[in-house]
Amino acid sequence: MPKPKKSGKKRKRGSPSRRAAPASKRKRRSSRKFSFSRLLLIASAIGFAALLAAFLIIDRRVSKYLLSSRPESSPVVYSDAYWINGRLPISAASLVEQLKARNYVLTSSPSSSGEFSQKGDSFKILTREFRGADGSVSKPLKVSLDLASRSIEIDGHAKTTRFALEPQVVATLGQSNVRIANRRSLSDFPAYLLDAVLAIEDERFYTHFGIDLWGIARAMLENIKAMRWAQGGSTITQQLAKNVFFSPKRKLSRKIMEALAALSLERQLPKQRILELYMNEVYLGQEGLVAIHGFPQAAKSFFGKDLSELTLAESATLAGMVQAPSLLSPRRYPKRTLARRNLVLERMYQLGKIALEEIGPAKLETLRVIPSTFINRRSPHFTVSLQKELANFIDLDAALRAGVKIYTGLDLHLQGCAERAVTHGLEELDRRYPRLRRQAGKLEAGLVALEPFSGKVKAWVGGRDYAANQFDHVSQGVRQIGSTIKPFLYLAGLDPSINRKWPLTPITVLHDEPISITLPSKQKWSPENFDKKFRGDVTLRYALEQSLNIPAVEAATKMGLGPFVELLKKLEIASKVSAVPSLALGALDTTPLQLTAGFGAIANGGLYVKPRMFVSIMDDAGGINITSPIVERKVAGPAASYVLTNIMQGVIERGTGKGVRKLGFSGQAAGKTGTSNDERDAWFVGFTPALAAGVWVGFDDNRRVGLTGGAAAVPIWTEFMQCASNALPAYEFIPPRDVAFLNVDSSTGELASPSCPEESLVKEVFIASSAPKRVCRVHGRGAVYAPQIEEHEQRENKREKGFWEGLFG
């Protein structure tokens, strides 16, 4: 069947297949286009308003930061000033170390502050002006010092014998981490370093307005080619904004805020000021949880140099690290660092910043990076504990925003001594006792040193490796103290104002024989000595020197536990003290900080001084906002404290702490070893006339160490004290007025008469009011004799004969 023909003319190609749309439809289409354009316009207006509002908020924030919290005055922790007395012994090496630690420059002829010259033991030093912890300003001084003859002239005058070197920066406190920075003015930065940074990070810094549009476009192109985030287009101003105001997370919103902050910074500051802030603020690496900020500190941390000492190659190395401090760390990835350094050098050459003859030698220069000792020297455990302590005194958040200077008593030389002693001591224990290395967790240690008369913390090592273990064994490690408690027991017994029931003297006879005590629970307790042996009758001196347990229990029970417990509470050794017989043997838990402060009271003549983590908090203008006063409390008499000190010197000379002498420390010192039950904790706490220090060694999970305090803790304490004594005056223990040095007849234990043979004489120290009055019955017929009080060193008896001679042996 044929198809019907189509009617009408054939339609031309391209002609409409339908009739023209009615006018109403055209109106609707036009209305939709208008609505879309209007929405787009409204959205743009809202976006612009939001950006403007965000800019105004950020601009106000930047203004407030720049006006009331200048970056150069952000919260900085300072060490103690270093005082030098030209009339007291100090080694040339120690003095040079202190000067170089403060960036003093050695020169043949000092002409400006911060310079010194040395010829053997003779020094000329031009000190710097600085503000001390008390707010006073120390003016620059011209010092001529001869260590050999102990002569000193200050500003041409020989009457003044002391001067101080300025405190050192310990750390900068941040809201989320511990930082270290060492801020300098732009003129202090070498041209090489500035050129290197600008060449690799922002070559158009002086021409853009905070945002480099050309740099952003170039970075986007590179990222598209690499199909990943390969480059950033951030300017130096944007990087500064990121470091100061924002987190390092890569988010679009953060990048926008960063750009707005950069515009605000450019609006409010000249280019030179922005560059100075950047050079001091830029993040350049992390060591443990301590962040390194700024090129001045990076130069010291990685190369051990001041900015002025950096070579071209070292400047290029530091500049290259900015892109990725962790991935370009010269210690961890030296090959990457060298490649990046050479790229920086090439870029500097291309921009005409260095000549052809400079780039070659710089590329060939060996990368010499100093060992990572930064964390050890800067005491991160102390800094974290300090931040917690400050929260008890100030609004820490406000202080972090406003910027304050926090002055401490820390001595960075002693801090270095302490860190090295802990590191070497634990490594040596691991080497000598392989079983310790095979344990699940590493052997740990804590060391703290205090100035007895001021309570200042001079050194603080919370553990062997802060990066691996942030637990602070100095202030958080509550452990059983063992025999380190015995000095406090005997202090209570020796002091007649504390113990009126059964006064003790160094020659009091105690019984070292089997003993059984019935406890309140009706159980029997039979203490033993560490070596399971009994020695019969012994003197108090011998019992403490040899750390005998049974005589200590006898002394505690006869004089009563009450005075002993009260003394421990006054010393703040522990918050809770139970009056039980085992307390005499160290059944008490405390921290190295609290225990060392207690020993400091003995060194300070019976005056307990609460440990001070800081001395003062000061604002930018030098006004003192808060001081940490010396909080002291008399806990015992100076005579009893001195007698006990004299006995504790015997611990080091011939007792359980004699390893101190065997290891080479020859200065005056007193101390006591301690070992807890089952040898889980090893202690040694001791003091010189100028410094008290305590060492604890053990495992965090309270596993058995299997070593005594003499074997594990004494070597660490000794190494620390040997190092520390190089920077401390050689003081001596000075006996107070009411102390008597008397000759005792060792065959009778009574005062020696003029008739007693010389070979039986032993010199002993007593509180004058408690000294024996009866003369030797064998040679002096039992007369009452008023002895002459002598104040000189005790002489060791070398001849043993009879019962009393054994007691004094």
Residue 509 backbone phi and psi in degrees, to 5: -85, 125
> How far, in Å, are 137, 209, 554, 693 from residue 662 at the CA level?
45, 69, 32, 19
CATH number at residue 152: 3.30.2060.10
- Which is nearest to 750 in space by CA: 791, 809, 805? 805
CB-CB neighbours of 469 under 10 Å: 17
- Which is nearest to 540 in space by CA: 492, 508, 583? 508
- Name the band, by pLDDT with cuts 50, 70 and 90, for residue 249: low
Residue 403 confidence (pLDDT) above 80:
no
For the residues 385-403, what does the mean pLDDT come to? Answer: 74
372-376, 413-417, 508-512, 644-648, range with the lowest pLDDT:
372-376
267 in Cβ contact with 59 (< 8 Å): yes
For the residues 682-690, what does the mean pLDDT come to? Answer: 97
Q: Among 100, 134, 167, which residue terminates a domain? A: 167
- Name the band, by pLDDT with cuts 50, 70 and 90, for residue 786: very low
For the residues 486-501, what does the mean pLDDT come to? Answer: 96
- Name the band, by pLDDT with cuts 50, 70 and 90, for residue 220: low
Q: 609-631 b/e with 16+ CB inside 10 Å = b?
A: bebbbbbbbbeeeeeeeebbeee
8-state DSSP, 536: E
Q: Per the domain annotation, does 725 fall within a domain?
A: no
Q: Per the domain annotation, does 103 fall within a domain?
A: yes
Residue 547 backbone phi and psi in degrees, to 5: 55, 50
Q: Strand 750-751 relative to strand 761-767: parallel, antiparallel, unpaired?
A: unpaired
Q: Per the domain annotation, does 15 fall within a domain?
A: no
For the residues 30-52, what does the mean pLDDT come to? Answer: 66
* pLDDT at 789 (0 to 100): 39
Residues 653, 659, 661: CA angle, nearest 5 degrees: 50
- Which is nearest to 444 in space by CA: 209, 238, 698, 646? 698
CA separation for the pair 283, 128 (Å, rounded)? 29
18-22, 146-150, 712-716, range with the lowest pLDDT:
18-22
Determine the 3-state secondary structure of 564 from DSSP: helix
CA separation for the pair 6, 81 (Å, rounded)? 110
Q: Which helix (H) or strand (E) holds 608?
A: strand 607-609
* pLDDT at 248 (0 to 100): 54
* pLDDT at 175 (0 to 100): 47
Q: Are residues 156 and 177 in the same domain?
A: no
Residue 573 confidence (pLDDT) above 50:
yes
* pLDDT at 420 (0 to 100): 94
* pLDDT at 29 (0 to 100): 55
CA separation for the pair 240, 283 (Å, rounded)? 10
8-state DSSP, 331: T
Q: Are residues 141 and 185 in the same domain?
A: no
* pLDDT at 791 (0 to 100): 39
Return the higher-pLDDT residue of 377 and 550. 550
Q: Are residues 304 and 243 in the same domain?
A: yes
Number of structural domains found in the chain: 3
Residue-wise pLDDT tens digits, 157-176? 777 788 999 999 888 776 44
Please report, as a single letter, which amino acid is at residue 539.
T
Q: Of the spans 47-51, 147-151, 575-579, 715-719, which averages the highest pLDDT?
A: 715-719
Residue 708 confidence (pLDDT) above 90:
yes
Residue-wise pLDDT tens digits, 622-673? 666 788 999 999 999 999 999 999 999 999 999 999 999 999 999 999 999 9
Q: Are residues 273 and 315 in the same domain?
A: yes
* pLDDT at 106 (0 to 100): 92
CB-CB neighbours of 704 under 10 Å: 14
CA separation for the pair 126, 281 (Å, rounded)? 30
* pLDDT at 800 (0 to 100): 35
Return the higher-pLDDT residue of 694 and 208. 694
CA separation for the pair 640, 676 (Å, rounded)? 27
Q: Of the spans 22-26, 151-155, 700-704, which averages the highest pLDDT?
A: 700-704
Q: Among 360, 376, 392, which residue terminates a domain? A: 376
* pLDDT at 467 (0 to 100): 78
* pLDDT at 711 (0 to 100): 97
Q: Per the domain annotation, does 509 fall within a domain?
A: no
Q: Per the domain annotation, does 489 fall within a domain?
A: no
For residue 272, is it left (φ>0), alpha (ψ between -120 and 50) or beta? alpha
Q: Looking up tokens 């690290």, which residue turns up? A: 321
8-state DSSP, 573: S
* pLDDT at 778 (0 to 100): 79
* pLDDT at 266 (0 to 100): 83
Q: Are residues 179 and 107 in the same domain?
A: no
61-70, 464-473, 538-547, range with the lowest pLDDT:
61-70
Joined together, the tokens standing for residue 656 give: 């359980």
Q: Are residues 366 and 311 in the same domain?
A: yes
* pLDDT at 802 (0 to 100): 39
* pLDDT at 788 (0 to 100): 40
Residue 254 confidence (pLDDT) above 70:
no
Return the higher-pLDDT residue of 596 and 201. 596
Residue 784 confidence (pLDDT) above 50:
no
Mean pLDDT of the chain: 84
Residue-wise pLDDT tens digits, 51-110? 666 666 666 666 655 654 444 445 788 999 999 887 777 888 889 988 988 889 899 999
Q: Are residues 300 and 158 in the same domain?
A: no
- Name the band, by pLDDT with cuts 50, 70 and 90, for residue 776: confident
* pLDDT at 531 (0 to 100): 93
130 in Cβ contact with 41 (< 8 Å): no
33-37, 99-103, 205-209, 440-444, range with the lowest pLDDT:
33-37
Residue 583 confidence (pLDDT) above 90:
yes
For the residues 416-423, what does the mean pLDDT come to? Answer: 95
Q: Among 167, 199, 233, which residue terminates a domain? A: 167
CA separation for the pair 376, 378 (Å, rounded)? 6
pTM for this entry: 0.74
Q: Strand 405-407 relative to strand 76-78: parallel, antiparallel, unpaired?
A: parallel
DSSP lists the bridge partners of residue 570 as none
Residue 142 backbone phi and psi in degrees, to 5: -105, 110
8-state DSSP, 455: -
- Name the band, by pLDDT with cuts 50, 70 and 90, for residue 407: very high
Return the higher-pLDDT residue of 268 and 725. 725
Helices 334-350/312-321 angle, 10° precision: 110
For the residues 115-126, what does the mean pLDDT come to? Answer: 95
Q: In terms of residue numbers, what domain contains 345? A: 171-376
506-520, 596-610, 748-762, range with the lowest pLDDT:
748-762
Q: Which helix (H) or strand (E) holds 569?
A: helix 561-570
Return the higher-pLDDT residue of 740 and 35. 740
Residue 718 confidence (pLDDT) above 80:
yes
Q: Per the domain annotation, does 331 fall within a domain?
A: yes
Q: Looking up tokens 């100076």, which residue turns up? A: 638
DSSP lists the bridge partners of residue 763 as 743
* pLDDT at 99 (0 to 100): 92
Q: Are residues 146 and 227 in the same domain?
A: no
Rg (CA), the chain: 36
CA separation for the pair 365, 330 (Å, rounded)? 14
Length of the chain as a residue count: 809
Joined together, the tokens standing for residue 253 give: 């919103």
Please report, as a single letter, which amino acid is at residue 717.
W
CA separation for the pair 447, 460 (Å, rounded)? 6
Joined together, the tokens standing for residue 273 give: 């000021």
Q: Are residues 193 and 293 in the same domain?
A: yes
Q: Are residues 257 and 307 in the same domain?
A: yes
Q: Per the domain annotation, does 774 fall within a domain?
A: yes
Residue 799 confidence (pLDDT) above 50:
no
Please state the separation of Cα 502 from the chain's center in Å.
44
**Percentage with pLDDT > 90 across the chain:** 53
CA separation for the pair 164, 295 (Å, rounded)? 27
- Name the band, by pLDDT with cuts 50, 70 and 90, for residue 268: confident
* pLDDT at 231 (0 to 100): 52
Residues 6+ away with beta carbon under 8 Å from 704: 678, 679, 680
Determine the 3-state secondary structure of 337 from DSSP: helix
Residue-wise pLDDT tens digits, 623-633? 667 889 999 99
Q: Are residues 208 and 255 in the same domain?
A: yes
* pLDDT at 375 (0 to 100): 44
Q: Are residues 194 and 332 in the same domain?
A: yes
- Name the band, by pLDDT with cuts 50, 70 and 90, for residue 453: very high
Q: Strand 151-154 relative to strand 761-767: parallel, antiparallel, unpaired?
A: unpaired
CATH number at residue 361: 1.10.3810.10
Joined together, the tokens standing for residue 364 give: 């060939």
Q: Per the domain annotation, does 313 fall within a domain?
A: yes
Q: Which long-range contacts (CB under 8 A, 24 or more apart) does 531-536 make?
A: 536/511, 536/512
DSSP lists the bridge partners of residue 88 as none
Residue-wise pLDDT tens digits, 501-532? 999 999 999 999 999 999 888 899 999 999 99
Residue-wise pLDDT tens digits, 295-324? 998 998 899 888 989 999 999 999 999 999
